[in-house]
Amino acid sequence: MSESEVQPTNLSEGIVTPFFEIPVSGHFSREEVEITDSKLDFEFDNKFQKRINEIWQKKKKQIEEKGGHLEDRPKLVVLDNSIKSGKLCLTLGHSSYKDYVGSTDPKLRYLIGAERLPKFLGAAALLETSDNFLVLNERSQSVFQYNGWLSVFAGSTELEDLNVNGVIDPFTTAIRETKEETEVENMEIADIKCLGYMVDSFTDAEAMLFHVKTTLTKVELESLQRNKNLDEGKSVFIPIDAGEVRKKILEFSKVFVSDGASVLTLFGRDKFGQEWFNNVVERLNRRGKVYNSLTDKQRQILEDKLILRLARN
């Protein structure tokens, strides 16, 4: 298949790479995503909760010293995901941001076991301008995770993210995060669709993946952001080109927040075709084998070098 744009069809086959897994992919409208809130609370054993509280206090202090702020608040976790009658169905439970921060600690994750950790629900949005640019986010130094890394516009789905029927709605999360991190208003969003659902292979974090189109051009968006204090980071623009999108996925596969890499991969499959997609997955698999062979120290050195390279571009 040539690298030409293809018409979307709903899909459900699994996609696996060393960096992320996508158990469900396709094109889902708001009406094709069904959310059920079980109201169940996720609870750790007391010995683990004590350790989580200690990690929270340590991380909170570190972020505040950088000028940032951490505040504990309710969080949603995924208890189950499936495809039923063509719909993407999620069953949710409840946890807290403190538990999320604490459960990112590698030592604690090893002690508890990934299968016993809560799966916090996030939403990741890839923004497209009206003149064929994709907008990414170079994360600031004051955020909790992935300082300086390249990402999309992402965050946790909150209890307040509701649709018109009062039901928890990750589409609302995607629009809110896009607005908070780019200044794009609701009226300037031309279209939004869910491309699927991903799981981070290293952290087990889960996120719904969105493609958001704005009516604004690159120049208009740059003008809108000028002299604005965007706490989460700054916008990075790349042209919608098969080679450029592939380059970004591969260049930052080792320091790219995986929801960003996965949504770019799904976007590319829609835009450039199955042959392009197969090539990207093959390249990710090869890079993953090399990456997984490195020691933690070697991996950190490599990540630091790539982040510095990003900062110079």
Query: Residue 312: which pLDDT band, with cuts at 50, 70 and 90?
Result: low
How much is the pTM? 0.85
Q: Please name the residue ranges forming H helices in 139-257.
A: 170-182, 218-225, 242-251
pLDDT higher than 80, residue 216: yes
As a whole number of angstroms, the distance between CA 41 and CA 161 comes to: 18
pLDDT at 230: 67
State the DSSP code for 131. Answer: T
pLDDT at 309: 64
Q: Average pLDDT in the 6-21 region? A: 68
CATH architecture for segment(s) 15-312: Alpha-Beta Complex (3.90)
- Cβ pair 243, 280 in contact under 8 A: no
pLDDT higher than 90, residue 24: no
Beta strands in the chain (DSSP E): 15-16, 20-28, 33-41, 74-84, 87-96, 121-128, 133-139, 150-151, 153-156, 189-200, 206-214, 233-239
- pLDDT per residue over 119-151, tens digit each? 889 999 999 999 999 999 887 666 666 676 778
